[in-house]
Structure 1
Amino acid sequence: MPVTVVRFNLVEPGAGPASLAARYRAALEMAAYADDRGIDTVQTEEHHGVADNWLPSPFAFAGAVFGATRRIAVTVSAAIGPLYDPLRLAEEIAVLDLVSGGRLVTVAGIGYRPEEYAQFGVDWERRGRLQDELLETLLKAWTGEEFSYRGRTVRVTPRPCSAPHPLLLVGGSSKAAARRAARLGLPFFPSAHLPELAAYYKERLAEYGTEGWTMMPAAETPLLHVAEDPDRVWAAYGEHFLHEARTYASWQSGSIRSAVRSAATTVDRLRAEGVYRVLTPDECVAQGLDSLVLHPLAGGMPVDEGWRGLRLFCEDVLPRLGA
């Protein structure tokens, strides 16, 4: 059976507080519904200072999801590591690990938007060193023992319940990220299907004498919406998918690449490209994907349509996948 994921970034261009509050409540209700129906994971991410209200606080959102659910995991993919205070993040993740019974998965990346670093007064050129410090600090902090941090002795309590520590992966699509993960003996999460980088990571594990594993995205991991009439959805709501795709595209330049990669400039081209797919239940079952990522509120999708697609997936697709 494929892994099933519901993705949220809570984008809603031009929304006021009341509309955003309703969207956040709907996301939590959707997470509880997905939990009851056997979906594996809620996935979220973070971006800052985005005009369309992109979620900036994935760990706060994760805590709310844990309060509304019993078994589903939450994957933060990815947290922008250098923007966090390492000690405070160690505390936040430890508390979330305790609250959830070990259901939090954190992918620590370094981001790809220099303007986010500028917003918080963090030096973009130091992002690699800051990421090293963050990861090293988290691993020391979660032992519950005293350690040296920036010239002083500190101790972080409480200890998390997961052993040896909450699940922490190093995200990225560079050799530097693979080396960092191998050196620290942490799992590696490439942001794209890159077998050669996984092989490089494995070589570095042998070099450092550490152990780890790669959580490799599938070659195809489209963002899905399920509908009885895909033509209707593309005609009525295709602009929502295109808005998100174009936003991601605007953040890419040179070696800076987001995980969602689309070159489409029109709804028709986006539909033909296949990064975003609106499928009937039969088509969804027939995809044969290793991972099914539902994106019910993509790009400001109306909440009612998001619910329609999620329910259709859970009621008509999941049972046929062996859930």
Structure 2
Amino acid sequence: MGHDIARLHHVGHIVEDMAQAISLYERLGFVVPPPSCPAMPRHEGAAPEPFGAANTHADFPSSFLELATCVEDGDTSRGLPADARLVPLEAPAEVLPVLVERIGETSANLAACLDRFEGLHILMFSSPAIDEAAARLTAAGVRHGGVNTVRRAAPHGAKVPVETVRYLEIDGDAPGDRPGAVAEGRVGVVADMDADVQGSRDLDHPNGAVGLVEAILCVADRELTAVQQRYETYLGRPARQEGAARVFDLEGAALTLVPESGLAAFLPGERPAALPALVGCTVAVRDLAVTRDLLRGNGLPLRETPSGDMFVPADAALGTAVLFRPAPRPPGDSRPRR
């Protein structure tokens, strides 16, 4: 029987300056389209102005990396680029206040993340059966906000005009936890992507990236067992031990828990900005040598993990280590690794 949570859906990098972040990700070799941001007029008859939260993605066939920032009403100090796409809010009068309130809550959550540190704060898993996942989490005593549904225009070239996204966010148990957030940030589950819709996006990255294959969560040593048990409940599967780390094997990806005392060995030179913290993510690439040449050519510093992954350190990547790993070879491909 398959699991109701199968793989990584996306991680979210919360940034201070969106234009700067897009420039970084382009230097990292990703294709990143202009960000989108909700917009509303500040008074009747005025032009819509950005507010709430802006985001964009570096997309892969079944996952993505998200860049997000918060934007106050009419404030562009977060460095929205000139080509940012403003999306005017259009909703019935009785619905609009609720929509604005939800967007405001999202922006407040992003701002709280930035108060901790600039870096990864979002970890979302992909589910082939999100209603079953929600029921299992409820039965296990995991608090969450239920399955939400949002719809947005599908990318040009998709067979359907509207993309439907169904998701849930896990609530923390500690006093003062914000709805939809746990200690390390926003963690939740998203229904599997529509392959046709995702395939209509630009998936051809100069660095050869083909998928998100790992998220790395650093925790205090004394909290490692408790966090492991928490994620065993979330994911419905046990972790395995790999040195000091605890690894959850997913379909084509993994969540790796690393104790603070083991982080320097796991990611040489890295230190967590806070605890617990998502300290890095790993993408699979077609040819690691090509990726290495691109990154060096763009002036980015590189380090290597004991397992042979290559990474750009957090202090050069806006607060998160970005790792690169060779993608699995297709059957019958016996060419040597580079």
Query: What is the TM-score normalised by the length of structure 2?
Result: 0.28
Answer 1 or 2: which has greater helix percent: 1
